[in-house]
Structure 1
Amino acid sequence: MKAKILSSLFLCFSLISYAQEVNEDQIQRYIEEDNKRISVVTGLSYLHNTFGLLYQDKIFRLRPNDAFYTEFFLRYRWLDVSFSFAPKLTRINNDDPEKGKSRYFNFGFTFFLSPKLRQYVYFSQVAGLYFQDTKEFMRMLYGNGYNEEGYLQFPDAKYRSYKGETSYLWLGNKTDYRSFNNMTYKPLKDVFVVSTGLFYQYNILSHVDKTIYQGEIFNETGEESPSKDMRIALRSGAGIQKKIKNNWYVIVEAYPEFYYSKLIDEDFHEFNVGLYSNARIGYDNGKLFFGGGTQLNWINSSNENFYSTTQWLFRIGVGFRFNSPTFVNRNFDKIDNILK
């Protein structure tokens, strides 16, 4: 009897081991097939973004009026590109005339320098801002009795941000982590990753010499001096990817950070702490995929909003994969052989 039980247990463990090997083989086979597919995603994001303007040792908040914008993600093999803007044809924004119009453009890409080292590069620009603290600013100039309504608009203002992050995966590798980047990669299994990243950002606020207030246009004379700032942050944290039945999945990431920020050409800098987090739920059957998520970037700043910071973002998207042309596969095979 004992011999039969031992034989049954041995057979059971053998079947489990074989099933795991088949599962790993399936994952490897899918990765090989994915090298011959192009992934495309179209999405819609709502962004709550605030910028800062230092005036007489006080921080005033500027906001873009245009909160919604469309996003596109395109990936083929290791080339992962994203760009976004707010096209006029979609008419997804109901701009407040008192706040003016805002325009977005973002472009970025992600790639792995090695199985453990990921590089992220991103450029964003928003044009057209309004003064959220207009009444407070006017009262500082004309006294507390000032009660006029309306917002100071900066129709030509541009806020350009250059961002990058280099992350090292202490636990996990690029096969495990790449689906955390965006929806272009299909989550293949349950994953737990731990990483440390160095985040760096350089911002320029310019063209604030033209203002509109209560329908009147004002132009400052003289040479404009753009406001510039930089931020460096060290992030360490973890992420979890959980597969659910019928091709559903959920991803959660949290990265506490310690950062240094500096307002260039001004006597202001600080060390502080913050938190970057990301969560997404989606569906992916290998060809069609969709999902939604949210992103939070919390900064414990003693002088809040003196540089660009995204407080929160909500994103939804839908995408599909299709076979790439033969000549594209052939040329990328040559590039891959060179990079090896």
Structure 2
Amino acid sequence: MEFFRIFNFKKFITFVGTPNSMKAKLLSCIFLYLSLISYGQEINDEQLKKYIDEDNNKISVVTGLSYLHNTFGLLYQDKIFRLRPNDAFYTEFFLRYRWLDVSFSFAPKLTRINNDDPEKGKSKYFNFGFTFFLSPKLRQYIYFSQVKGLYFQDTKEFMRLIYGENYNEEGYLQFPDAKYRSFKGETSYLWIGNKTDYRSFNNMTYKPLKDVFVVSTGLFYQYNVLSDLNKTIYQGDTFTESENDSPSKDIRIALRSGGGVQKKIKNNWYAIVEVYPELYYSKLIDDDFHEFNIGLYSNARIGYDNGKWFFGGGTQLNWINSSNENFYSTTQWLFRVGIGFRFNSPTFVNRKFDKIDNVLK
């Protein structure tokens, strides 16, 4: 198609931010929560130790549903065009035994969660990650995510730039083989608090035991790859570029410092809020663009946990400012709900992990 000879889609792919009003509303809600949280309902050290010893021999499992909003921004002739996955709902599963958290998510066909619009093609999600403590103060987080199948949301506006304002054809440019892969990691040090205090901040698999305040600094690192944009579908016709272009790659590094609070409420209810301002560096590999700027990572959750079964819901915001917002400005929203339960782990598993724990001590 003619527009492929005019512009290389992979050249300037990145995330695009949502309106500032939405950011302001979320921030005001976060700080409102912080101002309302007080401390109380403490449990003594003996009760805490007893629960942790019992929890060491239990496995926690969570199944949930998440909504993820991601938009890849395309800069062309001083305008931003949006390249998006078709759908954003997927199932999540968390498995936790002692100090090891494992999570994975995808959109299985049996659940029929996503109702793909045929005009936008199909999108597939897969995420996998785990979290563990290297020491009582040092936490490690590793994560991989992939989305396959993208469509060009502003197809008509883009075509009008090429063919003129009279262009009124309907439909979307689809990239069925396109993959956006992201490799993420974070190493955090707890200045105030330790792994016993922070465990329930990770996810719902840990039961909140008391009111907690934590402060930490973390180094976040991310490597992204966008590839396989050669195949295009438009109005039922398939077009394939003979030349296989190299993938678009970028790296992001952020230094996060902030804190979180956990508040126990009556009858096994609890609330958690975290806020982490950050300084970050971004680099578009194989291209002359990089920058330093600021951002914000925040997380909030409310839930119920009676020790045997539990449920909850929360939201997450990852926002990055930019001096040139057409490139590395990012706002990623995540909404999550889940339900889970705990059961006794097999004896042979306990014995194996007892040996590992003795080595790590």
TM-score normalised by the chain length of structure 2: 0.85
From 64, 83, 98, the equivalent of 1:77 is 98
Matched residue SS, 1:88: coil
Which residue is 2:312 aligned to? 291
Does 1:314 pair with 2:335? yes
**Alpha-carbon deviation of 1:176?**
0.5
Distance 1:57 1:258, change over 3 A: same
Equivalent runs, 1:56-205 vs 2, <5 Å: 60-205=81-226
In structure 2, distance between residues paired with 1:162 and 1:55: 27
In structure 1, give the amino acid aligned to 2:219. Answer: L
Equivalent residue of 2:120, what SS? coil
Q: Name the stretch that deviates more: 56-65 or 31-40.
A: 56-65
> Is the contact made by 2:319 and 2:329 (CA closer than 8 Å) also made in structure 1?
no
Q: CA–CA distance in 1 between the matches of 2:329 and 2:309?
A: 35
The CA distance in 2 between the partners of 1:101 and 1:77, in whole Å, is 38
Separation (CA, whole Å) in 1 of partners of 2:79 and 2:247: 17
What's the CA shift for 1:140?
2.3
- Count of aligned residue pairs for this structure pair: 321
Give the superposition deviation at 1:33: 0.6
In structure 2, the CA distance between the partners of 1:304 and 1:95, relative to structure 1 (3 Å rule), is farther
Are 1:234 and 2:258 matched, yes or no? no
Secondary structure at the counterpart of residue 114 of structure 1: coil
1:268 maps to: 289
Distance 1:50 1:210, change over 3 A: same
* Deviation sequence 1:51-73 (CA, Å, 0-9, x none): 24456776542111121000000
Give structure 2 stretches of 5+ with no counterpart: 1-40
Per-residue displacement from partner, 1:147-194 (whole Å, max 9, x unpaired)?
A: 222211100100000000111111111110110010001000000111
1:134 Cα deviation (Å)? 1.4
Distance, in Å, in 1 between the alignment partners of 2:261 and 2:169 is 51
Cα distance change on mapping 1:307 and 1:40 into 2, 3 Å: farther
CA distance in structure 1 between the partners assigned to 2:123 and 2:323 by the alignment: 28
Q: Which amino acid aligns with 1:156?
A: D
Task: Give the Å deviation of 1:305.
Answer: 6.3
Quick one: distance in 2 between partners of 1:196 and 1:24? 27
In structure 1, what residue type is equivalent to 2:111? T
Match of 2:58 in 1: 37
In structure 2, C-alpha distance between the alignment counterparts of 1:301 and 1:231, rounded to whole Å = 13
User: Match of 1:70, SS?
Assistant: strand
Q: Are the structure 2 counterparts of residues 248 and 133 from structure 1 closer, same or farther at C-alpha, using a change threshold of 3 Å?
A: same
SS at the partner of 2:162? helix
Aligned partners of 1:302, 1:105: CA distance in 2, in Å? Answer: 32
CA contact (8 A) 1:51 1:309 kept: no
CA contact (8 A) 2:320 2:328 kept: no
Deviation at 1:307, TM superposition (A): 5.8
CA distance in structure 1 between the partners assigned to 2:355 and 2:272 by the alignment? 34
8 Å CA contact retained: 1:65, 1:130: yes
**One-letter amino acid of the counterpart of residue 152, structure 1:** L
Match of 2:303 among 239, 264, 282: 282
Q: Secondary structure at the match of 1:41?
A: strand
Match of 2:50, SS state, is helix
Q: Indicate yes or no: 2:277 matched with 1:256.
A: yes
Moved more, 241-250 or 214-223: 214-223
Cα distance in 2 for residues equivalent to 1:282 and 1:200: 30
Counterpart AA for 2:153: Q
Equivalent position SS for 2:122 = coil
Contact kept in structure 2, 1:41 and 1:72, CA below 8 Å: yes
Report how far residue 295 of structure 1 moved.
Answer: 0.6
Separation (CA, whole Å) in 2 of partners of 1:321 and 1:193? 26
3-state DSSP class of the match of 2:141? Answer: strand
Structure 1 stretches lacking a partner, 5+ long: 1-18
Displacement of 1:204 after TM fit? 0.3
Amino acid at match of 2:47: Q
State the match for 1:5 in structure 2: none
Over alpha carbons, which structure has the higher Rg? 1
> Does the 8 A contact of 1:51 with 1:305 survive in 2?
no
Hey, what's the Cα distance between the residues in 1 that align with 2:286 and 2:78?
Answer: 14
Instruction: Tell me, yes or no, if the aligned pair for 1:80 and 1:110 is still in contact at 8 Å.
Output: yes
The match for 2:265 is 244
User: What TM-score do you get using the length of structure 1 for normalisation?
Assistant: 0.90
Taking a change above 3 Å as real, the CA distance of residues 71 and 307 of structure 1, as seen in their structure-2 partners, is farther
Q: What residue is the counterpart of 1:211 in the other structure?
A: 232
Report the secondary structure of 1:98's partner residue. Answer: helix
